[in-house]
């Protein structure tokens, strides 16, 4: 207990105010302020400012690059569009041309086919006529032969031929009725 | 010798510059401390006194320690800014930038745009106060437990306060004492003087009382140890075993936490007082009037 009181009494002389010490301490703080200002804050601020400057420059550069890139893109897009329309146009034109040619070819083919058919018909007609004449000649020959057998010597060949020919012509003219009349008479 | 080894060498020299003052202060402390028995609470050790007008100037431990601390901080700054580049790729530059940006933002938040230049000053207050308190961890006498040291800082703050109050001219300053009414004059004067006094005593009292409590508890533990474990044979009985543990915990609180807290409080109060001392509106009006007159 006594020790404690003694300590407290001693502690009273801890609070001793000294003018010069106060002034020195004041100066100390000022000196430290100057030290910090010149040796810590100044170089660091300088570095920070420089970095900010570089950063700003880089940013503006990047901005410019982006703008030019956008312009390039727009340019490219426009060119692409024109190329597409051009391609479309070319395709449409060639399609139209192909169709035209198709149609022409078809028409040509049809025409030619028609010609061929007509020719064939004409030939057939001719053939028919020829066949008819041949048949008639054969009949005439046959009937003349028969008549010679039935009435030998009475009939000369030329006179009979003319007769039979006229009969056949008549038959030809009357058609099926003529043919029936001829049979009834025979 | 290439640049890299040169850089390293300068680094080592700067680190030595950081450590040497503190080591010197410790050596001086060890050499000059008189041997004493039991407990004693005393002020800073006085090495010698210089005769000065009005009052003698004692060159005390607290003074030596704060000078050594300032030299150490100076070398610390040189070390930290050594090799500062535009592109920060070293740890120390990151730390430096963190310090600068933190104090800038602290000052910006508490004091406003006008006091932007105050961040080195606030940094100086914080550093000097905090590291002064932390010096006790090295076994040195903490300069913050000397009233004269704190009083010097507080008076500097007081001068700053008065300077900013006088920004609108001395007449405006004198008139501010009679506001809101003339009767308040003595109160205003007292409150004006009370600012540095309260700042001094708050900081000094906290640190000093912490160290006194630490000393008392250590002494009490020594006594208790002798009482309880004195029966141990030989040297074992002399060792104060109970002093292990508790004083360390108290030291963490009183030396580290309390010191940091007081440093922060002192810096905050500095910022508050100085920024509120500045009559911003009146000053702006005055400047506008001046500009009108000139134009």
Question: In chain B, which residues have their Cβ closer than 8 Å to the Cβ of A51?
Answer: 86-88
pLDDT band, residue B33 (cuts 50/70/90): confident
Average pLDDT, rounded, for chain A: 84
The range of the structural domain enclosing residue B164 comes to 3-294
Token pair 């001094």 in the structure block, residue: B200
Q: What is the mean pLDDT of residues B149-167?
A: 92
> Other CB atoms closer than 10 Å to residue B240's CB: what's the count?
15
Rounded to the nearest angstrom, the minimum Cα separation between A4 and chain B is 8
Contact B63 A11 (CB under 8 A): no
Lowest average pLDDT, out of A125-134, A140-149, B157-166, goes to A140-149
The pTM (predicted TM-score) of the whole model is: 0.71
Please give the pLDDT value at position A127. Answer: 93
Q: Structural domain tally of chain B?
A: 1
Contact B96 A40 (CB under 8 A): yes
Residue B131: is its pLDDT beyond 80?
yes
Give CA–CA dist A58/B270, Å, rounded: 40
Question: In chain B, which residues have their Cβ closer than 8 Å to the Cβ of A28?
Answer: 66-67, 70, 128, 149, 152
Q: Is A12 on the interface with B (CB under 8 A)?
A: no
Please give the pLDDT value at position B30. Answer: 84
Give the H/E segment covering residue B50: strand B46-50
Give CA–CA dist A131/B194, Å, rounded: 155
**CA B68 to chain CA mean position, Å:** 13
Residue A92: is its pLDDT beyond 60?
yes
Please give the pLDDT value at position A37. Answer: 93
pLDDT band, residue B271 (cuts 50/70/90): very high
State the Rg of chain A over Cα. 68
> Other CB atoms closer than 10 Å to residue B6's CB: what's the count?
10
Give the H/E segment covering residue A28: helix A19-36
pLDDT band, residue A156 (cuts 50/70/90): low
Q: Nearest Cα to B272, choosing from B107, B104, B101?
A: B107
B176 or A155, which is more confident: B176
The strand pairing partners of B48, in sequence order, are B59
- Any residues with CB less than 8 A from the CB of B34 and at least 6 apart, and which? none
Buried b (16+ CB within 10 A) or exposed e, A124-145: eeeeeeeeeeeebeeebeebbe
Q: Is B188 on the interface with A (CB under 8 A)?
A: no
Q: Is B227 on the interface with A (CB under 8 A)?
A: no
Give CA–CA dist A82/A78, Å, rounded: 6
Residue B174: is its pLDDT beyond 90?
no
- Cα distances from A48 to residues A43, A62, B76, B119, B142, in angstroms, run 9, 21, 20, 16, 35
User: Which residue in B43, B119, B208 is closest to A13 by CB distance?
Assistant: B43
Please give the pLDDT value at position A181. Answer: 45
Q: Is A44 on the interface with B (CB under 8 A)?
A: yes
Q: What is the mean pLDDT of residues B167-185?
A: 84
Give CA–CA dist B95/B80, Å, rounded: 8
Tokens of B294: 């000139």
Lowest average pLDDT, out of A89-103, B24-38, B138-152, goes to B24-38
Q: What is the mean pLDDT of residues A139-148?
A: 83
Average pLDDT, rounded, for chain B: 86
**pLDDT tens digit sequence for B186-204:** 898 999 999 999 999 999 8
Mutation to test the A interface, candidates B52, B135, B156, most A Cβ within 10 Å: B156
- Any residues with CB less than 8 A from the CB of B148 and at least 6 apart, and which? A16, A17, A18, A21, A22, A25, B62
> Other CB atoms closer than 10 Å to residue B230's CB: what's the count?
10
Give CA–CA dist A18/A25, Å, rounded: 11
Give the H/E segment covering residue A90: helix A42-150
ipTM of this predicted structure: 0.88
């Amino acid at each position: 207990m006594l020790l404690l009181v003694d300590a407290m009494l001693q502690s009273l002389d801890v609070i001793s105010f000294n003018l010069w010490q106060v002034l020195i301490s004041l100066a100390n703080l000022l000196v430290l302020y100057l030290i910090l200002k010149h040796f810590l804050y100044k170089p660091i601020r300088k570095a920070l400012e420089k970095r900010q400057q570089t950063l700003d420059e880089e940013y503006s550069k990047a901005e410019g690059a982006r703008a030019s890139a956008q312009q390039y893109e727009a340019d490219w897009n426009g060119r692409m569009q024109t190329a597409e329309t051009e391609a479309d146009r070319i395709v449409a034109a060639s399609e139209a041309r192909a169709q035209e040619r198709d149609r022409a070819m078809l028409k040509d083919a049809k025409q030619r086919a028609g010609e061929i058919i007509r020719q064939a018909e004409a030939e057939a007609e001719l053939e028919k006529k020829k066949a008819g004449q041949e048949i008639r000649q054969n009949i005439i020959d046959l009937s003349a032969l028969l008549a010679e057998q039935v009435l030998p010597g009475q009939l000369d060949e030329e006179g009979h031929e003319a007769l039979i020919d006229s009969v056949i012509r008549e038959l030809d003219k009357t058609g099926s009725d003529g043919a029936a009349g001829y049979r009834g008479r025979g | 010798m290439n640049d890299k080894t040169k850089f390293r060498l300068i680094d080592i020299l700067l680190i030595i510059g950081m450590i040497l003052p503190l080591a010197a202060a410790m050596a001086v402390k060890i050499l000059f401390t008189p041997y004493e028995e039991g407990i004693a609470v005393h002020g800073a050790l006085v090495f010698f006194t210089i005769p000065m007008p009005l009052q003698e100037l004692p060159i005390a431990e607290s003074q030596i320690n704060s000078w050594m601390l300032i030299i150490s901080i100076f070398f610390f700054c040189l070390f930290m800014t050594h090799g500062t580049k535009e592109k920060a790729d070293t740890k120390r530059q990151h730390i430096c930038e963190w310090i600068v940006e933190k104090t800038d933002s602290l000052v910006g938040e508490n004091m406003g745009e006008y006091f932007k230049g105050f961040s080195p000053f606030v940094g100086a207050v914080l550093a000097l106060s905090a590291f002064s308190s932390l010096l006790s961890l090295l076994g040195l006498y903490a300069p913050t437990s000397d009233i004269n040291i704190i009083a010097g800082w507080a008076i500097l703050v007081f001068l700053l306060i008065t300077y900013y109050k006088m920004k609108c001219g001395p007449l405006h300053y004198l008139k501010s004492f009679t506001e809101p009414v003339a009767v308040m004059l003595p109160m205003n004067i007292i409150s004006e003087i009370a600012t540095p006094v309260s700042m001094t005593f708050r900081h000094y009292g906290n640190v000093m009382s912490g160290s006194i409590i630490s000393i008392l508890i250590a002494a009490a533990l020594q006594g208790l140890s002798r009482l309880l474990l004195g029966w141990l044979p030989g040297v074992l009985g002399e060792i104060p075993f109970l002093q292990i543990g508790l004083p360390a915990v108290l030291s963490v609180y009183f030396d580290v936490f309390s010191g940091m807290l007081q440093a922060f409080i002192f810096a905050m109060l500095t910022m508050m007082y100085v920024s509120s001392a500045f009559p911003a509106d009146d000053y702006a009006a005055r400047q506008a009037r001046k500009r009108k007159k000139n134009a």
